[in-house]
Structure 1
């Protein structure tokens, strides 16, 4: 029994001595690993600020800038951690950590597939020069001013002041019309005049009214005018002209102004803008006082 105790005690002392020797041997590596992590921490702070400043030149959204800066800081810290583990000769631990990170990343990616898709779509949208905050856009059946682009959604304010929140993935996968990319818009105006009208006079008068109403139209010849069809009660035409505008609201105001001025000019010149009229004709010879009809009304 005594021999077994002495053997066990000897093994314990030998094990402790081995651990102590290992600790003494790895103290320089441990100190160097701590220094590496400290350098990585301060480097991450510097890189985060530098990245935020660089991204701010391309991206207006604070949420996007902060997210990119944080991701860059995490990357620097992770690089420092891997270097520190390598300095301490923990190759197996490093391999296990990478394998675990890969499995965890795959599981998280599958679980948050929709969220990650919106996040990456938000990053892509933030770097697109053709989509900026303040632009007037139309997409997926909605039209309005872009008021926010973040990592989750794309926010529009419509003309009626309603807020529309659309997932970033939807914006990236669907067509988008940006009215603010150009400083000019074409106004389409459709109307009709009576069949008794002088069509040459109607065309010339309409062009002159548009040219006199809008400074952007230098002369009547700049206005496009086409008679399009013989309607039920009018000869219809299409009028097109360019204006300086960057939003649909400006376009609507221009169209409203054009309609008012054209109506005034037509009234002054006696040009008729017809509208559907229903005529009730009572020239039949039905005798409502006939005895048979009176008897039928009485019975009913």
Structure 2
């Protein structure tokens, strides 16, 4: 019989433990070290492969988680970047109400009305004279200089006026008439008259009772010759509070006033406005003094 006849063939792809046993080999329990080495190498290869695949999956998962965390931390509820810290109410222990002190509501008293003080003799107690109402030796109005001359004060109201004005004043309780005369360039002279009453109603009634024939008597003196006694002159009349005030303007030389004599009209308007402001200022000073008490 030839060599090897009847023996099973050797398979190179199988481990030693699975190879057929030759007839002269021992069947004892001695370990097959080659087979064990092959099995160990196979397990290690499979373990390395699983670690590589698992590591790649884990890296992708961690990267996704980090990306989601970054986007969530830098996004507001509206999808826009949040560049400011949360308000104090959103912080632990924060409170907006505790940071703002509260005070009881207060309000300043309304200012006193100057007109109230010059509308009644009961409240209009400040000193009153031609010099207190028209102080100084001259006044500049709208860049025009007016020089003060004669002044007078009388409780006989009818003696200081002419025409229909005496009746208008006395019928409504006039208590006093003060007059002051001013001059300006061009020989223009203007007498200002202020009639005093107890109440604003009396002064208003007296003014409404006047007409174009209600004329203030001019006041010459202190270097001013008589004027507007026989010549044509320009007059104005008005009232504020318990005061009615009038002007009579013309030329100190006795010349008649015409519509072309704008200087006379301007002087009368300037001094009428000045008189109004002085009376109102009287009310302001008394209102201020009362408010400071």
- Do the two structures share a fold, i.e. TM-score over 0.5? no
Asked which structure has the greater CA Rg, the reply is: 2
The higher relative CO (CA closer than 8 Å, separation ≥ 6) is in: 2
Superposition TM-score, scaled by structure 2 size: 0.19
TM-score under structure 1 normalisation?
0.18
